[in-house]
């Protein structure tokens, strides 16, 4: 399949500030032209980075987006050839928009009121 | 309501030089507006979190501190400060999880209206695998009263006074990590970082960049990496398995030990950095050298301050002491009334060889205390892989004495399958 499957770790309407402290995620497929062609919300039974990693590998996720990702999980996902865009802070809308445009990078801060 | 930016201006332009005051504090401090948005991060907290002042300003506090309790037990959500400190952890922008103590206070004006909330963040030492803090234990954390342990305890202050590299040799579970931490904590570097780095964890191509840093490369998409050496400046770095270091890296580390400088990838000029190196290994360094896995020049520099840690089976007189020590600590932790071991249990434990050394002993005692329902730990409370002699009372028909142990972490792995032991019978599973 062409396109890209993304998992965004969420906490409410924001990118989860801690990958290991959330049980919510949005999984979406982005086609080659930058369109979001499918999206589904996942609720895990508990806060667990292990569960999240397991899901990522089992569902052929290409890229994970989150706030803080501890190095153990970061390197594990990278080792499994999953791209990790971490240290992202912002609400889902702007993050997804920038992601679809292929312009989201690690460390991006997308809260409008931030001083960055 | 005053906007965050107005308050930030007031904060920055107040007649009091508050930013400077906070920056001079020896612990982390973050100042927030009434909505919990960052107005100021002091220098300590900027270093700890990895956020710059301008990056953090205006962000919700949870996206900057990123503690384990953000969103759950948040002082801001309670609309007030918290009287008691909270032990939690943060994950900083360098992806490190750091245990911290968080205290929150409110700054009010004369009319009692809240102007700012201030979080104070104190960095704590890493916890041991049993969940017990190791930092505040000092040399007392190294338990043992045998002659060989007394010798080790007597040389550690000398190790701590020096800046030379340290090499710790010993089997798994003999306390290499703890000793490295104690050397750091007892040294003048104790207020500076202690970084533990597992060299076997990273792909070889990333290893040197992670250690020494990497300059950003325009066009290639390579991000700048702030090396661990820079992060550990003034402190110590501990490498828990020497044999994970490739020869090329050993040669670069030799250069560092000789010159005190490192050179990030993509840069041509080395710069000085003050870091003390400590290494540990489970393997014999002589054997590693003979196999060509240890660079002779590197080994020569490491072998000056070398400490060989004895396995538990060679510390006979420490065994009852350690059993009693851990039984007491776990009884307190699990709120049990355990006072000690029955003679049968003690006899079994005295004969067990402890291939996982003190770590395994601690795990066995943790399991035993957890499953105990009386004031004495019985053979039935011991993990099944600890062999019971057939002559031991109440042990007939149980696990064979030669049953191999599954390793030092087994009790924890089995905790979820705790056996029915209330009858005092052990069943081999």
Collapsed DSSP state (helix, strand, coil) of residue B118: strand
Q: Tell me: pLDDT of B217 over 70.
A: yes
Encoded tokens for B163: 């800046």
B71–A71: do the CB atoms touch at under 8 Å?
Answer: no
Residue count (chain A)? 116
Best CA proximity match to B233, nearest among B278, B195, B185: B195
3-state helix, strand, coil in chain B (%, to 5): 35, 20, 45
pLDDT (tens digit per residue) in B229-245: 988 888 999 999 999 99
B141-163: burial string, b at 16+ Cβ within 10 Å, e else = bbbbebeebeebbeebeebbeee
Measured between beta carbons, the chain B residues lying within 8 angstroms of A115 are 5, 8, 53-59
Interface test with B, best of A70, A86, A87 (most B CBs within 10 A): A87
Is A113 an interface residue toward B (CB < 8 Å)? yes
Encoded tokens for B68: 């384990």
CB < 8 Å from B in window 15-34 of A: 17-18, 20-21
**CB neighbours of residue B421 within 10 Å:** 18
E runs forming strands in B92-156:
97-108, 114-123
A21–B70: do the CB atoms touch at under 8 Å?
Answer: yes
* B177 close to B240: Cβ distance less than 8 angstroms: yes
Walk across the sheet containing B194-196 and list its strands.
Answer: B194-196, B236-239, B276-281, B166-169, B305-308
Residue B163 gets the label, from left (phi > 0), alpha (psi -120 to 50) or beta, of alpha
**The predicted structure's pLDDT at residue B255:** 94
Q: What is the DSSP letter of B242?
A: G
**Higher-confidence position of B4 and A25:** A25
A114–B55: do the CB atoms touch at under 8 Å?
Answer: yes
B57–A115: do the CB atoms touch at under 8 Å?
Answer: yes
Is B8 an interface residue toward A (CB < 8 Å)? yes
**Higher-confidence position of A82 and B23:** A82
Best CA proximity match to A89, nearest among B293, B271, B4, B60: B60
Is A109 an interface residue toward B (CB < 8 Å)? yes
Least confident of A2-11, B62-71, B125-134: B125-134
B55–A17: do the CB atoms touch at under 8 Å?
Answer: no
Backbone torsions φ then ψ of B84, nearest 5 degrees: -105, 150
Pick from B4, B55, B62: CB nearest A17:
B62
Check: pTM over 0.80? Answer yes or no: no
Q: Tell me: pLDDT of B366 over 80.
A: yes
Pick from A18, A79, A106: CB nearest B91:
A18
Q: Which residues pair with B123 in a beta bridge?
A: B100
Encoded tokens for A113: 């009121």
* B225 close to B206: Cβ distance less than 8 angstroms: no
* B121 close to B48: Cβ distance less than 8 angstroms: yes
pLDDT (tens digit per residue) in A17-41: 999 999 999 999 999 888 999 999 9
Is A98 an interface residue toward B (CB < 8 Å)? no
A25: Cβ contacts below 8 Å, ≥ 6 apart: A7, A8, A9, A10, A41, A42, A44, A52, A55
Q: Which residue has the tokens 């932790």?
A: B333
d(CA B227, CA B248): 17
pLDDT (tens digit per residue) in B391-428: 444 333 333 333 333 343 333 333 333 333 333 334 33
Best CA proximity match to B249, nearest among B207, B296, B291: B207
> How much is the ipTM here?
0.94
Backbone torsions φ then ψ of B340, nearest 5 degrees: 170, -160
Number of H-type helices and E-type strands within chain A: 3, 6
A115–B54: do the CB atoms touch at under 8 Å?
Answer: yes
End-to-end CA distance of chain A: 37
Backbone torsions φ then ψ of B58, nearest 5 degrees: 90, -10
A71–B60: do the CB atoms touch at under 8 Å?
Answer: no
Encoded tokens for B86: 């909270």
Encoded tokens for B215: 């300059």
């Amino acid at each position: 399949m062409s396109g890209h499957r993304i998992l965004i770790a969420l906490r409410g309407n924001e990118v989860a500030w801690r990958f290991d402290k959330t049980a919510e995620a949005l999984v979406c497929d982005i086609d080659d032209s930058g369109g979001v062609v499918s999206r589904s919300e996942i609720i895990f039974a508990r806060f667990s980075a292990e569960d999240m990693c397991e899901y990522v590998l089992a569902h052929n996720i290409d890229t994970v987006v989150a706030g803080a990702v501890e190095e153990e999980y970061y390197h594990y996902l990278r080792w499994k050839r999953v791209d990790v865009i971490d240290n992202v802070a912002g609400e889902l809308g702007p993050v997804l928009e920038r992601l679809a445009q292929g312009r989201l990078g690690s460390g991006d801060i997308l809260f409008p009121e931030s001083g960055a | 309501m005053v906007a965050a930016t107005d308050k930030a201006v007031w904060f920055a332009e107040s007649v009091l030089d508050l930013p400077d005051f906070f920056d001079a504090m020896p612990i982390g401090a973050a100042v927030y507006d009434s909505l919990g948005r960052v107005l100021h991060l002091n220098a300590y907290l900027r270093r700890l979190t990895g956020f710059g002042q301008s990056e953090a300003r205006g962000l919700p506090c949870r996206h900057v501190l990123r503690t384990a309790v953000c969103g759950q037990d948040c002082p801001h959500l309670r609309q007030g400060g918290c009287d008691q400190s909270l032990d939690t952890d943060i994950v900083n922008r360098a992806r490190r999880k750091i245990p911290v103590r968080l205290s929150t206070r409110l700054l009010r004006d004369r009319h009692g209206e809240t102007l700012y909330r201030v979080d104070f963040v104190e960095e704590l030492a890493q916890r041991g695998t049993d969940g017990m803090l190791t930092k505040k234990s000092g040399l007392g954390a190294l338990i043992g009263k045998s002659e060989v342990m007394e010798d080790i305890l007597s040389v550690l202050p000398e190790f701590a006074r020096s800046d030379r590299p340290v090499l710790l040799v010993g089997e798994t579970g003999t306390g290499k990590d703890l000793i490295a931490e104690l050397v750091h904590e007892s040294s003048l570097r104790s207020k500076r970082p202690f970084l533990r780095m597992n060299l076997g964890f990273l792909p070889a191509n990333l290893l040197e960049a992670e250690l020494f840093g990497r300059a950003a490369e325009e066009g290639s998409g390579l991000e700048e990496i702030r090396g661990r050496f820079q992060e550990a400046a003034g402190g110590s770095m501990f490498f828990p398995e020497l044999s994970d270091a490739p020869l090329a890296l050993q040669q670069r580390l030799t250069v560092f030990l000789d010159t005190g400088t490192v050179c990030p990838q993509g840069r041509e000029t080395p710069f000085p950095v003050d870091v003390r190196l400590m290494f540990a290994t489970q393997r014999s360094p002589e054997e590693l050298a003979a196999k060509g896995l240890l660079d002779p020049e590197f080994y020569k520099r490491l072998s000056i301050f070398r400490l060989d840690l004895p396995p538990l089976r060679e510390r006979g007189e420490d065994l009852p002491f350690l059993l009693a020590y851990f039984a007491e600590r776990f009884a307190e932790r699990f709120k049990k009334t355990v006072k000690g071991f029955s003679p049968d249990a003690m006899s079994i434990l005295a004969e067990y060889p402890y291939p996982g050394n003190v770590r395994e002993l601690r795990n066995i005692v943790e399991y035993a205390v957890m499953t105990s329902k009386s004031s004495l730990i019985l053979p039935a409370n011991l993990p099944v892989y600890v062999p019971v002699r057939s002559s031991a009372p109440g042990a007939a028909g149980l696990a064979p004495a030669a049953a191999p142990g599954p390793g030092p972490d087994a009790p924890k792995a089995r905790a979820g399958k705790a056996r029915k032991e209330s009858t005092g019978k052990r069943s081999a599973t």
